[in-house]
Structure 1
Amino acid sequence: MRKLFAKLHLWLSLPLGIIISIICLSGAALVFERDITQALQRSLYTVVPPSEDTQPLSPSQLATHIQAQVSDSLRLSSLLLSANPHETAFASFRETGRKQLSVNPYTGEVLGWTQSYPFFQTMRKLHRWLLDPPASKGEKSVGKIIVGITTLVMVFILISGLIIWIPRTRKALKNRLSVSCTKGWRRFWYDSHVAIGFYSTLFLFVMALTGLTWSFGWYRTAAYSLFGETPSSTQVRHTDKGKDRSRKDEVKITWKDANASAPQSLKGWFYAFHTGSWGGITTKILYFLAALFGGILPLSGYYLWWKRTRRREKSQIRRD
């Protein structure tokens, strides 16, 4: 049985190993994107409450204030509010895509548009679409399909790797979890491949299973159904009186927990478990290391396969 899984592990890894490394390494680069972005744009993410007793404006009041300060051509689609009194609110519009407007939740004052840095934009395109993004949201592209298929295959690679390397004794387990640095490069990379695989597999498994919800609609539907689909947001209606309009717009209101960066919704939790934000800085560090190790695993695997192939060739030459 182990020989069968060893062959499965090898022949799935050989054609897709490089793509797995790209996905994992670019994912590692994105783990601290929000932290770095917020640090560089602190005035757009933090606010000082007027007083301890001051309550933020209601969603309807915020929506009215925001719509009065932006162009008539922009239609407010959602608000992201935080339970943390020192965090700003964010408004999204149908016409601006991912770009959000920072808003003071106590006064409704518009503070400015959030900025996404080119490095992270490139890493995101590489991570999700191999630099081949879909023409529009919800559509497919060659890069998106390749990433989805590779992530799905990665699940089987991780499972087969565990089956191959599961130790039968405590002594073998100790060897699996340690790396020898005194027995040559091949032994070093072999130990590294096995040990890194043991330490990072659980995290990589979670990343892969949650990441697939962005790749395949059928998988997302099945995953949401498995956990019991819940509304991702609460909708409220407000009337834009400041612009003298009779039309009513539906605005999605999403609340963000005060102690974590994950919105309290099913979609938010999938995102949180994919990025490691569910447990704060500790889980982010663990996810970063796991993604980094996930990018190294295929490379060390290629090296071991190349050394084993060369050794077999030399043995064949000697026999001939």
Structure 2
Amino acid sequence: MVSVASPVRQSESRGSIEPILAVTAPDMKRVNDLILAMAGSNVALIPEIAEHLIASGGKRLRPMLTIASAIACGYTGEAHVKLAASVEFMHTATLLHDDVVDESDLRRGSKTARTIWGNQASVLVGDFLLGQAFKMMVEVGSLTALAILSSASAVIAEGEVWQLSAAKRMTTSEADYLAVIDAKTAALFAAAAEVGPVVAGSPEPVRAAMRDYGRSLGLAFQLVDDALDYGGSAADLGKNTGDDFREGKLTLPVILAYQAGNDEERAFWQGAMEGGRNDDAALLRATALMRRHGTLEATIERARHYGEKAREAAASLPRSPSREALLSVVDFCIDRVS
């Protein structure tokens, strides 16, 4: 296994998720209760599958961003709880659908729903959760928040289709890949962070700052995941390491290694990603080529760049425990490679 930490370690300080856990704890208890209630159904298979994924150990980072951003903007009402639950349902539905598309067998150390109940049930329960998410959005009564989250849902789907069309195509550029993860991952982070100030009645500059914060955090988060797939652990990733490679999924470390490689190396990448020659021996060679060309480090440096953009955006908020928690989340996401 390749370590992605030591060559790029820049600081001995580590981010922590504890500050945002502390700031959001009372409201997240209500979010979690609402999630369990809204996952209920007379169709027994729906809560069974939903609770399997809900209980599988995710940190609930996205809904915490909604709660923390609302608190940071001085909000004291109830709407942020329903919006945070909506965000988590959107994310959970995406995971169910992603595991079907990617044919994944492990999610956060547990069997994926598709391996237990099958692809059809996983897709349909994901659709149910999306419906429940939009029901809660409507109940909040904010057309602006509804527009933000519904737009994010469409953008995420576009990103999934875009990624599917670019899969195993070695001509995919770095710019194209960043556009894919901007849609597929960063869009929900951005929406989750923006709807907090929306319900707080904050002015557009504050909304824009939190939207930028979420987007940059999401890009950093995904790029770190890309690097961890070739040098992290299943606990860090929430899936098996090397899964991206085995699935022939193009990520930034691969794209950069292909671009930097000679003809023989490019032939290897084409055989692995386009031709399906991606067994364990090929994975070892892939990581060796990434070490040779420094593409894991380059990917993490790009993550650090977006992390800094997220910090700058959050720093524009008034000083408060919630603002400090949002800043600490940035370091936590990036320091997963340490």
What TM-score results when the alignment is normalised by the length of structure 1? 0.26
Higher strand fraction (1 or 2):
1
Higher helix fraction (1 or 2):
2
